[in-house]
A and B are shown apart, each in its own frame.
Chain A
Amino acid sequence: MKVQKIGEILVMLGIAILLSNLIRSSNYSECCGFLLKPSKEAIEGFRLPPRNIRFEVNVKGGSIDLYFLSENDFKKMKEGKVAYIKYFHNITSLQWEFTVERGNYFILIKPIKFTDNEVFVEVYLTLYGIERDMTYIGFSLISVGIALVCLTKVFKRANEFK
Chain B
Amino acid sequence: MSVTWSRLVLWITIILLITITLLYYQSAPYTVDPYSVEMSKMESLSAMRDALVLSSMIYTMILIIIGVMAWTMPLKRCLVKTFLSLPIGRSVFFIGNVFNIFLPPFIVFLVAHVFAGLYILSYVSVFDLLLLFPLILLNTLFIVSIVTLISLIVKDSIVSLFLASSIFLLPYQFPMQLKYINSCYFYTVTVAYIWHCVKHVSYSEAINLIAVTSLVTSIALILSFIYFLKMDVD
Interface residues of A (CB under 8 A from B): 8-9, 12-13, 15-17, 19-21, 23-25, 28, 30, 43-49, 51, 74, 102-104, 106, 125, 127, 131
| Pairwise interchain contact B18-A46, C-beta atoms closer than 8 A | no
Residue B54, interface by CB 8 Å = no
Residues of B within 8 A of A104 (CB): 32, 122
| Pairwise interchain contact A25-B27, C-beta atoms closer than 8 A | yes
Residues of B within 8 A of A103 (CB): 122
Q: In the docked arrangement, what's the CA distance between A162 and B183, Å?
A: 61
| Size band of the interface chain B makes with A | 20 to 34
Residues of A within 8 A of B26 (CB): 24, 28
| Pairwise interchain contact B22-A48, C-beta atoms closer than 8 A | no
| Pairwise interchain contact A45-B15, C-beta atoms closer than 8 A | no
Q: Majority SS of interface residues in chain A?
A: mixed
7 chain-A/chain-B pairs, Cβ below 8 angstroms: A8-B11, A9-B10, A28-B29, A30-B28, A47-B121, A48-B29, A49-B120
Interface residues of B (CB under 8 A from A): 7, 10-11, 14-23, 25-34, 40, 119-122
| Pairwise interchain contact B29-A19, C-beta atoms closer than 8 A | no
Expressed in whole angstroms, the minimum distance between the Cβ of B38 and any Cβ of chain A is 14
Residues of A within 8 A of B14 (CB): 9, 12-13, 16
| Pairwise interchain contact A47-B30, C-beta atoms closer than 8 A | yes
Residues of A within 8 A of B122 (CB): 47, 102-104
Q: In the docked arrangement, what's the CA distance between A24 and B11, Å?
A: 21
| Cβ contact of B34, chosen from A20, A45, A127, cutoff 8 A | A45
Give the 9 A-B CB pairs with smallest separation, nearest first: A45-B32, A16-B18, A20-B22, A46-B29, A24-B27, A47-B30, A12-B14, A20-B19, A16-B15
Expressed in whole angstroms, the minimum distance between the Cβ of A146 and any Cβ of chain B is 15
| Cβ contact of B30, chosen from A12, A16, A25, A46, cutoff 8 A | A46
| Pairwise interchain contact A46-B31, C-beta atoms closer than 8 A | yes
Residues of B within 8 A of A44 (CB): 31, 34
Residues of A within 8 A of B34 (CB): 43-45, 74, 106
